């Protein structure tokens, strides 16, 4: 298991989802990917994308204008 | 027993593509969704930018449809490739800057490419004959099949009976008799089918999500091209055309004036790329200058800026002009009267 992070701040949905999708495609099951975003829409869109594509959201939250979603690759 | 055939369905998040997915699922084929991001499918963007919209439901309808129907959804970034579709549409534009027919051909072509790369068997859309004035007409739907290269691998389950049988129908992968014969602009058959499938919630029927069908947006895009002397754009241009009031007092520059706090915050992110200005000591908008502006132009812009804040009735106010490098210059100006702002300046 390895940990990765991508910073999508400044991009609006669905770009954070697309960036997460493309990064997850290069990872292995069990790997963790942290996605940082400035779009609050990512808090709902990334978990929705994870649910339909078989990945787990380990943590999600917002501090100020920064959104963070931690994905475990399924 | 042979493996189920696999179909990639173009999923916009609207009712038609939702129904197309469901109709094909009922046939026992394996369905996955494709959703294309052109940069102009921007409902979510305005919600993200404008403070008044931030409490609205932020669901992405394509993801929501996929989840409701239990299919995978692949979102494809076609922003760069889409430029050529918008700038040089072979079949021209619709009522505004919407190249709907070329857009549909391009998306089906991309879907075909995806289908081949992922070992799928055919593709499908929620198109209905006569539903849209440009891309969904009896005479243009064959153009989409032909020019995309999809030919008879493209199935339109909602109106298949109005069209020649496709390969999946002829080969018995799907049963033509259980497909539909919808046509025209009426939404009643789709709504009745949604009821039949038990869909209690779906995105507004026929609700377009493309900013290029919007007159105001299209006018701003054409203005941008005219001002720059070339038909081109970057992602930031697409975004900024959606934000604020746009005023062009001189051919060489325009002002983007935020309308509320959310837009103010959004424009802050561009302060290192553009000259910005704001009235000092009074509440007012952040204003961005796009173009090359002289000192005289900036003084004019400063006077216009004062018009859109609390200082507009003051005899003289200070405006802070911030350069791209962060240095700030202060100038004193008298606010411009509403009558002096020419209507033709508004884009």
> CATH number, domain at A13?
3.30.110.40
Residues of B in contact with A13 (CB under 8 A): 44-45, 48, 58, 60
The correct answer on CATH 3.40.50.2300 for the domain covering B6-210 is no
Domain of residue A54: give its range: 3-72
Judge if ipTM > 0.95: no
What local confidence, expressed as pLDDT, does residue B205 receive? 44
What local confidence, expressed as pLDDT, does residue B163 receive? 95
Q: Which of A12, A21, A41 sits opposite B75 (nearest CB)?
A: A21
What local confidence, expressed as pLDDT, does residue A29 receive? 97
What local confidence, expressed as pLDDT, does residue B192 receive? 96
Tokens 């501090």 correspond to: A63
Alpha carbon distance A24, B142 (integer Å): 37
Residues 6 or more apart whose CB falls under 8 angstroms from that of A25 comprise: none
Numbered residues of chain B with Cβ closer than 8 Å to any chain A Cβ: 35, 37, 44-45, 47-49, 54, 58-60, 63-64, 66-67, 70-77, 239, 265, 269
Alpha carbon distance B302, B318 (integer Å): 9
Residues of B in contact with A12 (CB under 8 A): 44-45, 48-49, 239
Contact B60 A45 (CB under 8 A): yes
Tokens 């100038």 correspond to: B331
Average pLDDT over residues A39-62: 95
pTM over 0.95: no
Q: Which of B58, B60, B71 sits opposite A40 (nearest CB)?
A: B58
Contact B58 A17 (CB under 8 A): no
Query: Is-contact B267 B273, C-beta < 8 A?
Result: no
What local confidence, expressed as pLDDT, does residue B132 receive? 76
Q: Is the peptide bond before A14 cis (omega within 30 degrees of 0)?
A: yes
Divide the 347 residues of chain B into consecutive groups of 10 and give the mean pLDDT of each group: 88 94 97 94 62 66 94 95 96 94 96 98 95 79 96 97 97 97 92 95 66 93 95 91 95 96 89 95 94 96 94 93 96 93 94
What local confidence, expressed as pLDDT, does residue B133 receive? 73
What local confidence, expressed as pLDDT, does residue B55 receive? 59
Contact B63 A18 (CB under 8 A): no
Number of structural domains in chain A: 1
Q: Where are the alpha helices (DSSP H) in chain B?
A: 15-26, 43-49, 61-69, 79-87, 100-117, 141-148, 167-170, 188-196, 215-228, 235-240, 261-268, 295-307
């Amino acid at each position: 298991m390895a940990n990765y992070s991508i910073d999508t701040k400044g991009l609006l949905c669905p770009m954070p989802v697309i960036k997460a999708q493309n990064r997850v495609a290069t990872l292995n099951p069990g790997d963790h990917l942290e996605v940082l975003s400035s779009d609050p829409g990512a808090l709902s869109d990334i978990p929705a994308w994870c649910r339909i594509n078989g990945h787990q959201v380990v943590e999600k939250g917002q501090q100020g204008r920064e959104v963070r979603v931690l994905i475990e690759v399924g | 027993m042979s493996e189920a055939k696999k179909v990639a369905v173009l999923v916009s998040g609207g009712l038609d593509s939702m129904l197309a997915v469901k109709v094909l699922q009922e046939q026992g084929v394996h369905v996955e969704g494709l959703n294309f991001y052109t940069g102009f499918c921007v409902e979510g963007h305005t919600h993200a930018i404008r403070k008044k919209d931030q409490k609205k439901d932020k669901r992405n309808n394509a993801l929501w449809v996929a989840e409701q129907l239990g299919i995978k959804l692949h979102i494809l970034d076609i922003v760069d490739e889409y430029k050529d579709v918008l700038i040089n549409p072979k079949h021209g534009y619709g009522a505004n800057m919407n190249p709907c027919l070329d857009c549909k051909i391009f998306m089906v072509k991309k879907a075909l490419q995806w289908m081949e790369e992922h070992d799928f068997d055919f593709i499908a859309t929620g198109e209905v004959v006569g539903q849209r004035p440009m891309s969904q007409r009896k005479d243009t739907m064959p153009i989409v099949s032909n020019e995309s290269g999809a030919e008879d691998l493209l199935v339109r389950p909602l109106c298949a009976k109005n069209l020649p049988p496709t390969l999946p129908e002829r080969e018995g992968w799907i049963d033509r008799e259980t497909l539909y014969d919808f046509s025209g602009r009426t939404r009643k058959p789709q709504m009745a089918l949604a009821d039949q499938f038990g869909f209690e919630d779906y995105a507004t029927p026929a609700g377009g999500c493309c900013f290029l069908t919007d007159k105001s947006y299209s006018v701003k895009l054409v203005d941008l091209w005219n001002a720059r002397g070339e038909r081109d754009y970057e992602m930031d241009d697409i975004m900024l055309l959606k934000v604020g009031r746009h005023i062009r007092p001189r051919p060489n520059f325009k002002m983007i004036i935020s309308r509320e706090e959310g837009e103010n915050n959004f424009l802050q992110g561009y302060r290192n790329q553009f000259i910005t200005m704001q009235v000092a000591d009074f509440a007012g908008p952040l204003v961005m200058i796009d173009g090359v502006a002289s000192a005289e132009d900036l003084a004019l812009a400063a006077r216009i800026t004062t018009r859109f804040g609390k200082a507009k009735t003051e005899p003289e106010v200070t405006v802070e002009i911030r350069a791209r490098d962060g240095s700030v210059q202060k100038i004193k100006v008298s606010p411009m009267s509403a009558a002096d702002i020419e209507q033709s300046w508004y884009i």
